[in-house]
Every structure is written in C-alpha cells, then in structure tokens.
Amino acid sequence: MEQGNKNTRSTRRILDHINSPADLKGLELADLEILARQIRDLIIETVSQNGGHLAPCLGVVELSIALHYVFDAPRDKIIWDVGHQAYAHKIITGRRDKFHTLRKYKGISGFPRREESPYDSFNTGHSGTSISAGLGITTARSIKGNRHKVIAVIGDGSMTAGMAFEALNQTGHTERDLIVILNDNEMSIAKNVGALSSYISRKIYEPRFVSLKKNLENFFRSIPGVGENIFAVLKKSEDSLIGLLTPGMLFEALKFRYIGPIKGHDLNLLIKTFKDVAQLKGPVLVHVLTTKGKGYEPAEKNPTYFHGIGSFDIATGLTTQKSANEPPSYTEVFGRTMVELGAKEKRLFAITAAMPEGTGLTEFARVYPDRFIDVGIAEQHAVTFAAGLATEGFKPVVAIYSTFLQRAFDQIIHDVCLPDLPVIFALDRSGIVGDDGRTHQGTFDLSYLRIIPNMTVMAPKDENELRHMLFTALAFHGPIAIRYPRGNGVGIPLDKEYKKIPIGEVEELTHGKDLLILALGSRVHPSLEAATELEKEGYSVSVVNCRFVKPLDPRISEMAANTGRVLIVEENTLHGGLGSAILELFSDQGLPNLIIKRLGIPDKFIEHGPQSLLREKYRVGRKEIVAEARKLCNYHDPGKEKA
Ligand SMILES: Cc1ncc(C[n+]2csc(CCOP(=O)(O)OP(=O)(O)O)c2C)c(N)n1
C-alpha cells in the first residue's frame, strides 16, 4: 500500500506539468500511475492541513485520471455526484496551484462549482442529482445538435437516493446517450445500506459466484449426450450468464447497457473500458469497484472516520484539532440524550438518512438496534417513514442536517403536518456550517418550517437546553422541530433531571430598560455577552431567549413596548425567519413607534470559510451584536454615546 509523502523529486515533476487534462493525454501508463501517487500525496497533504473529504477522494484518483485521459472535458461534461470526491478532478483541471486553498475562505471550494471552473459542469453538494442533471444536459445536446459526451459519476451510497432512480428510469425510457459511472466502494459515509446495496455489491469474482458458475458448468457438462452442447451454447453467451449473476440485470432492465464490474484502481483497464464505452450509443452504466481511502492506510482502515475530516497528522492519522477541555458538540449531546431518553421511552425511534455518525446516533443504534434505522440517502422517505411509525403510536425522531431536510419539504407538509403527527425533527448543522459552504449552510430551516400549519419550531440556547427540548418534544402531540448549530456547545453543565419547556414561552435572561434583544439558539449567548459589555457602558439591556419561532410568545410585544427599541438576532436568512415572525406579530398586534433592527443572514448563498469569520462577515457575531445594540441604545439620545 502506498503511504502519503513518498515522492521523489524526479517523480514530483509529472504532477507539476499537469495544468489541464490535455497534459495527461501524451503520458504513458507508467507515468499515469506515478501521477496517481502524486495526486494522492497532494490530497493527503492538503486535507491533513485544511480538512476535507479525504477517503472519497483517495478512492477515485485513478477513475478521475482515466476519465480525463479518455474524454475531452470541458467539451465532454463530467458531473460528480455530491462532488465531495472531486479533488483529483480539480487538481487535473488547472487548480493544482490553488489546491492549498481548498475550503479556505476565498479559496477553492470543496465541491464542484461552475463559477470556479469550466470543467465543473454542474454544481453539486447534495446527493443523487448527477443522473438527472446529466440527462438534462444530454437532452439539450441533442436539441442543439452537439455530439459531446455526458458522464455522471455516482457513488453506490448516492445511488440509494430516490432521485437517482427517477433519473435512471427516465434515461432508460428516452434511450439517450448518457454514461453513468457507478463508483462502488460499498460505503456511503457509513457502510452502505439497503437491498440495492447488497444487490450491486454481488461481485462476479467473489468465491461464492465463482463456485456457483463452476457448479453450473459442471452440472450442464454432466448431462449425458447433450451436456457438452448446452455448455458450448452457455459459453458463447457467457455475458448473459454473468449478467444473471451480477447487478447487470437490474440496470439492463432499466434499459442501460451494463459494463462491469471492473477494478477501479487498474488504470489500464479503466482507460480501455472508457475508450470502448465512448463508442457506445444509448444509456450505459459502468460499474467500477473502488476502495474508499485507497493509498492511505488509516483511511482504508477507517473510511467512515476519514470520509470528512478536520486537520490530522499524516504519520498517525490522528486528528489535530480537538483539545481535551472542549465542551461536547451539540451532536454528541443530542446522541447521549437520545440514548438516555430511549431507556425511558420505549416508543422512541431514531431515523437517519445515511448519517449515523454525523447526527450522533451510532450509540443509540448500538443500544437499541430495533428502534433505529438508517434509510440511506433518502430524506424524503425518512420523513414519510417516520409519519407511518407515528400513526402507529411511535415517537420517531428524524435526525437530518438542516440543509438535507430541504429535500423533504413536501413530505413534512403533506405526510406529517397535514395529519398533525407527532414526528420530531432534529436539525443538526443549522445556521452557518463553515467550510463546506454554499451547498451545506443551514440557513433556511426557520423559514421553511415556520410557514407550515401545525408545526412547532424551537432552538436551544445551549447544549443543556437541547436536552430539555428533546424531552419536551417527546411529550408533545404534534410535529415539532429542534434546530441546533454545528460545533461545540457553550460549556454549560448538563442537568441530570429533564424538564419540560412550556411550548411557545420565551425566557427572559436579563432585564433592562434601554433595549430588548430577542435572540434565538446559537445567538443567545453572544447577545448576553453583548449585554454585559453594554452594561459596562451604562446601558441596561433585556436579553430574551426566544426558544420558539413558532408559536411566538405574545408577551414579546409587551416587552418591546417597554424598551421601545428592539434588536432581533438569528442565524437564519432574514427572509421569513425569527425577525420576520416578530415583525408580523408586531404588525398584527398594532404596535407602532418601535425602533427595530434585525440581524441575520442576507438573501444570498453563503460561501465557505470558518464559522467565526462568516458570522462576523454577516454581522451575527458578538462584536456586531454589540455594535448594533450600542447604536440602538444611542438612537434617541446621541449625547449618551460613550464609545
Ligand atoms: C441529500 C444528501 N444527503 C446526505 C448527504 C451527506 N453525504 C455526503 S457524501 C455521502 C455518502 C455518499 O456515498 P457515495 O455516493 O457512495 O460516495 P463515497 O463517499 O462512498 O465515495 C452522504 C450521505 C448529502 N451530501 N446529500
């Protein structure tokens, strides 16, 4: 196995000369193999410092080289599903010199972006879109009379997404020229799940299939008189015999020509296969077997851990970011609370859409295997599945990142809220998530959940309140969502006893007469700190932990009338979030003459960068809250300005 950082100076030069895919075309196979090692080293080196999706990218180095060697991008369109595995593609397509800026603020994105390069033919980040996009591009190509190739590269995990099947179904029907590369490493982030997964991972050269094939051959040969003839016919149609034993049948039924499975680290084989495939008409699926984490031992051994990782030490594979005294993350506290509540409430059921680790549910899955399910990358199904459980008296908790729950908007409306079912939504990574950027920011959930009848939406100010909110949700009789941020809690001790939070009630944390700060979730503690700072300047500020965006506490209006000045702070788009809800309340209650300022995320997609930097940039950090609060305090009495 190759380890990172073993380049000699002479071999290093090959990568240094790759400025576009054209530079690959003249290379010999042996050079391409050296190049693969150099690309791996660069990926390992960079991700060890910047963090990123290591294991998925290491698994597709040869695949990326072979695709760019055979096809003619950017004329030919290569679409990377999810796009978390596109680092080698980025390095090959002119971004080698910028690669050290990967995922850094103003640096290159961790995902394909059309704005970043003409080689990134489709923006991805959420799973399962590549075949649909590919079919769209193929259809446009036909109408425009162009002849370029369209290639969708999709992992076996992403193939569990419903969208992928919708697209396969239509592609087969239209019989358009589309090449789908199924990158099968038997992993999603965790081990891949589902009937399809076990079906496609049936490998023709697995011992049981080899022996099954042998037995069939022996059986036919042993039939006296006709056996040899039957065997000869079978031999001729070996393809169809193999088709019976491999995943080919499934894709052939969908009118795809199935090729594979082929070994995905054999550059020679990949290149030969892609050259053949490039000549074929109609939909083709090439089944490529790869090893996630290939070429870096720690990642091969633990691909789940190295799927997406922060900075780490290359020699040991140990992460270098976390210090021992850090408070636990919201995810950890959620996971721990689920395990505790699972013991008290036997109807509690946990659902993840391919993110058992990311959502903190691995321990729950271990302790209560009968009350846990990983549905695969199928957020829509997860929600309706939960609705089904709820109709039978269960208490399902659907734990999905804020950004991915967007997928299930209609299921939340139609299957959960309309029949008013007690489904609990746990939205991790709400607000600004940081380095993953535009496709992953969780800045819309308050808006998209708040508008749905019967829905209750809450956000804890700290990790301790998260526990109480989960407890509260469990006793609640309708749809209810808890949104909490990415990262560590604030370091508050965790109560042993659970308590119910009265639905729709705010919590007044400080009482003052100059200004009312209405804050939600992750913005409550920075607002408290701001109030303390302003107190030193002679102002008295009320800080209210809103806790609920829906229903809103009508007492907010009284509180606002008392100070006359209101600052609303949230980590959600200003369109339709907490601030909008409060303005609606004020308007409905006929509250005139208030001075109101809203802090929140503007109407745009937020780029990648450190959470703290982005919070500062978009004016929801502590310093910006202080500045706005001071301005408001001074509004009527500029003479009082002391800053
Ligand atoms: C809609 C959606 N849900 C969840 C995710 C989180 N996610 C990112 S990669 C991934 C696993 C993808 O597995 P696969 O396609 O097999 O690629 P691999 O990482 O194994 O190469 C998941 C679940 C996502 N990107 N999009």
Q: How many CA atoms lie within 13 A of 79 on its CB side?
A: 26
* Of 483, 446, 451, nearest in space to 466 by CA: 483
What pLDDT sits at residue 1?
Answer: 38
Which residues 6+ apart lie within 8 Å of 81 measured at CB?
124, 127, 128, 129, 130, 131, 152, 153, 154, 155, 158, 164
Distance 355 CA to ligand 1 centre (A): 9
Starting from the edge strand earliest in sequence, which strands make up the sheet with 548-550, in order?
Answer: 372-374, 348-352, 395-399, 424-430, 480-485, 456-458, 548-550
Nearest CA to ligand 1 atom 22: 189
For the Cβ of 359 lying below 6 angstroms from any atom of ligand 1, the answer is: no
Reduced to 3 states (helix: H, G, I; strand: E, B; else coil), residue 305 is coil
What pLDDT sits at residue 288?
Answer: 96
Q: What is the DSSP letter of 317?
A: -
What pLDDT sits at residue 196?
Answer: 77
Write down the number of H helices and E strands in the chain. 27, 17
For the Cβ of 290 lying below 6 angstroms from any atom of ligand 1, the answer is: no
- At position 55, the amino acid (one-letter code) is A
Point out the ligand 1 atom lying closest to the alpha carbon of residue 125.
25
What are the b/e assignments for 37-75, b being 16+ CB within 10 Å? Answer: bbbbbbbbbbbbebbbbbbbbbbbbbbbbbbbbbbebbe
- Label residue 347 exposed, middle or buried (CB < 10 Å: 0-12, 13-18, 19+): middle
Return the best residue to mutate from 188, 265, 359 for the ligand 1 pocket (most ligand atoms within 8 A of CB): 188
Distance CA 97, CA 119 (A): 16
**Angle in degrees, CA 403, 405, 410, rounded to 5:** 130
Distance 158 CA to ligand 1 centre (A): 6
For the Cβ of 83 lying below 6 angstroms from any atom of ligand 1, the answer is: no
**Catalytic residue flag (residue 379):** yes
Active-site entry in 96, 103, 292, 630: 292
Q: What is the DSSP letter of 187?
A: B
Answer whether 569's CB lies under 8 Å from 517's CB.
yes
What pLDDT sits at residue 176?
Answer: 94
Q: What is the DSSP letter of 478?
A: S
What pLDDT sits at residue 4?
Answer: 42
Tokens at 400, concatenated: 């999905």
Distance 192 CA to ligand 1 centre (A): 10
Return the best residue to mutate from 64, 127, 381, 409 for the ligand 1 pocket (most ligand atoms within 8 A of CB): 127
Active-site entry in 77, 96, 294, 407: 407
What are the residues facing 518 on neighbouring strands? 544, 568
Reduced to 3 states (helix: H, G, I; strand: E, B; else coil), residue 518 is strand
For the Cβ of 185 lying below 6 angstroms from any atom of ligand 1, the answer is: yes
Q: What are 616-623's contacts with CB under 8 Å, separation 24+?
A: 618/432, 620/432, 620/523, 620/526, 620/569, 620/570, 620/571, 621/526, 622/526, 622/529, 622/530
For the Cβ of 291 lying below 6 angstroms from any atom of ligand 1, the answer is: no
**Catalytic residue flag (residue 292):** yes
* Of 410, 404, 425, 450, nearest in space to 573 by CA: 450
What pLDDT sits at residue 201?
Answer: 64
Point out the ligand 1 atom lying closest to the alpha carbon of residue 377.
3
For 151, 180, 251, 534, the CA distances from 260, given in Å and listed in that order, are 16, 12, 11, 67
- At position 357, the amino acid (one-letter code) is E
**Angle in degrees, CA 444, 128, 42, rounded to 5:** 90
For the Cβ of 354 lying below 6 angstroms from any atom of ligand 1, the answer is: yes
- Torsion, Cα 327 332 333 339, to 10 degrees, reads -150
Distance CA 582, CA 560 (A): 10
Distance CA 543, CA 553 (A): 15
**Catalytic residue flag (residue 407):** yes
- The secondary structure of 45-113 as a DSSP string is HHHHHH-B-HHHHHHTHHHHHHHHHHS-TTTSEEEESSSTT-HHHHIIIIITTTGGGTTSTTS--SS--
Distance 98 CA to ligand 1 centre (A): 25
**Can you give the pTM of this predicted structure?**
0.92
Which residues 6+ apart lie within 8 Å of 611 measured at CB?
432, 433, 434, 486, 487
Distance CA 468, CA 454 (A): 21
What parts of the chain have a pLDDT lower than 50?
1-9, 11, 205, 637-643
Distance 227 CA to ligand 1 centre (A): 48
Distance 377 CA to ligand 1 centre (A): 7
Distance 409 CA to ligand 1 centre (A): 19
Answer whether 104's CB lies under 8 Å from 159's CB.
no
Return the best residue to mutate from 60, 62, 82, 131 for the ligand 1 pocket (most ligand atoms within 8 A of CB): 82
What pLDDT sits at residue 227?
Answer: 62
Point out the ligand 1 atom lying closest to the alpha carbon of residue 307.
19
What are the residues facing 78 on neighbouring strands? 151
Distance CA 211, CA 598 (A): 69
For the Cβ of 85 lying below 6 angstroms from any atom of ligand 1, the answer is: yes
